[in-house]
Structure 1
């Protein structure tokens, strides 16, 4: 419990006036929290943002934000490279601090972020009905002790996406694996709910782009569960599929980029009686069945904060430590190859980084 349970009744600050910031702003307004301020180094972008969310003041910088008594919530929606730096400027002992994924770029940054009060990572895929159903089925042993998971992200990213600096380390800080793959990998780690034992990764590069545009990741979890992630930005459309298999059961979650875990799970069991058990479980698991998941995710976090809870107290109110498993798995792949080496890869090459 904490004594600052009314902090979320004040207004919100949005840091980063892009698409993610706009969705955060609209989510706050949906829950009765006014957006009081916005910061973005591009002042024209910040002004346009302000017009869309009710006219908050546009800040010149983040100096003094930590002492502003009117701000009860902050959302860090800027490029990942500066998430932790800006979170440290905005954190306060009576304030809820949301940080978009990936929350950090390195283990060091993750440790710094863990020290900040009331910090909540934006992991809205965890709120979806489908992933919560699979998590429950795994917890009840319906997929056996060692499920295997295939994670397939075939997404389309064109020149407009990279034109905003997402092709560079000094602007964005990471490529497909951490910037996008973290969404699905975190959801799978949430469903399996066990530590990682071993990681192997492969990064692929395209001409003229510093960061990886495709990647493959194989993870062994403690106890024997396995997960394999494949991601590419070269697809013709956005397709996402998470497939969990074990003990004669397949559980598939499919959709596009937009919150696929809000969809229904497709269960197939070799045993008809087990199929009925799985369907009954799916009918009773609580979870959000519509997109955007960010709106109910932020709503539950605000409610939890008002009730005096601290992040990590429930699966609806996660802490930075809760997302460390998925981030650390990717950090281990990145650590296997120096940033300089990655930046000078010739076109269409790959780098394999085995780690234990």
Structure 2
């Protein structure tokens, strides 16, 4: 095999992020985007004409092809797990967009299927690869802020009624898996977990206050981390005009505040700002746009994925890592549904 040959399943908005990253990486790596498939053949043909690759008649044709080594799954969330399992059974390595699955049963089955078929899977959590996120994790985990007291994220996004009306899957439990947290908020939750560490318990209230959808458009969550620190998650798609994500990390000795991936405050008792910390601000309009993320942010994670195949090693974000934010969101929904605090270990054991 001279090159890793990659295909894309699902030719909606996010597929362009994957195509861009693969084409950029192909300039220095032995990889190639060779085709795409979609349940709507016309969408696949339009996408493939843009990138000069093959449009497969069906997803099954792509998975059966000996000319495909790996795939990106860029469909609506409710199809992620089943398509990933189909790909695994065909021996294809897998990149799956967030969330990798939307139920505990799907998560467990997907983990087992990848293991049984000896394929590599990575779930998109591209924020973990960014230098500022890794620097914040190093500070928190390395004790630069002293004993950690709080770790919070506020994700007050805006999605219009028209956004939900554009398709029959958005805002549904069956195909979106959830709302402000499972769809729009999962990257912020993953970033929070990556920096603060595992959660011990959650108590949540999730409500549909502004949109005519099945799932939550407004949620508030109280966390206790395994470290003993406390935290808050707020997520919305209901707040106009929408705002960038805000992270607060507070220790006994200091505070780090981030706006999306940007540092906006770094104060440690008795010390100046570290020389490697630069203060910048996020795009204020990104929070109300589905396409508000930097297209280049997928490149480091896809680089790690392809290297993991070539080097026969696990990717940085494998199945176990990729499911962490989903497990937490499912526990949040359980707490909101029952009105009770949910212990994460007990919740995992029930699954």
TM-score normalized by the length of structure 1: 0.81
Task: Give yes or no for contact 2:64–2:90 (8 Å, CA) kept in 1.
Answer: no
Task: Give yes or no for contact 1:67–1:92 (8 Å, CA) kept in 2.
Answer: no
1:76 equivalent in structure 2: 73
1:40 equivalent in structure 2: 38
Pairwise mapping of residues 1-356 of structure 1 onto structure 2 (< 5 A)?
A: 9-32=3-26, 33-60=31-58, 62-63=59-60, 65-91=62-88, 95-115=92-112, 116=114, 117-162=119-164, 163-164=166-167, 165-193=169-197, 195-205=198-208, 206-233=210-237, 234-254=239-259, 260-261=260-261, 263-264=262-263, 266-272=265-271, 275-276=272-273, 279-280=274-275, 282=277, 292-311=296-315, 317-336=316-335, 352=339, 354-356=341-343
| Superposition deviation, residue 200 in structure 1 | 0.9
| Superposition deviation, residue 264 in structure 1 | 4.0
Task: Give yes or no for contact 2:254–2:269 (8 Å, CA) kept in 1.
Answer: yes
For structure 1, the 5+ residue unaligned runs are 1-5, 255-259, 284-289, 312-316, 339-350
State the SS of the aligned residue for 1:244: strand
Aligned CA-pair RMSD: 2.3
| Closer/same/farther in 2, CA of residues 13 and 232 from structure 1, 3 Å limit | same
Count of matched residue pairs: 315
- Which structure 1 residue ranges, 4+ long, deviate > 6 Å from structure 2? none
| Superposition deviation, residue 137 in structure 1 | 0.8
Task: Give yes or no for contact 1:10–1:70 (8 Å, CA) kept in 2.
Answer: no
| Superposition deviation, residue 319 in structure 1 | 0.7
Task: Give yes or no for contact 2:151–2:250 (8 Å, CA) kept in 1.
Answer: yes
| Superposition deviation, residue 280 in structure 1 | 4.5
State the SS of the aligned residue for 1:327: helix
| Closer/same/farther in 2, CA of residues 209 and 266 from structure 1, 3 Å limit | same
State the SS of the aligned residue for 1:250: strand
| Superposition deviation, residue 331 in structure 1 | 0.7
Task: Give yes or no for contact 2:122–2:322 (8 Å, CA) kept in 1.
Answer: no
| Superposition deviation, residue 186 in structure 1 | 0.7
Question: 1:258-316 CA deviation, whole Å, 9 max, x = no partner?
Answer: xx32x3463112322xx35xx14659xxxxxx7631122212221232122123xxxxx
Question: 1:214-235 CA deviation, whole Å, 9 max, x = no partner?
Answer: 1112211112022211111123
Asked which structure has the greater RCO (Cα within 8 Å, sep 6+), the reply is 1
State the SS of the aligned residue for 1:141: coil
Question: 1:297-351 CA deviation, whole Å, 9 max, x = no partner?
Answer: 212221232122123xxxxx2111013332211111223466xxxxxxxxxxxx9
Question: 1:60-94 CA deviation, whole Å, 9 max, x = no partner?
Answer: 2x325444221122111111111100001112586
Task: Give yes or no for contact 1:130–1:253 (8 Å, CA) kept in 2.
Answer: no
TM-score normalized by the length of structure 2: 0.82
Q: Distance in 1 between matches of 2:51 and 2:340?
A: 44
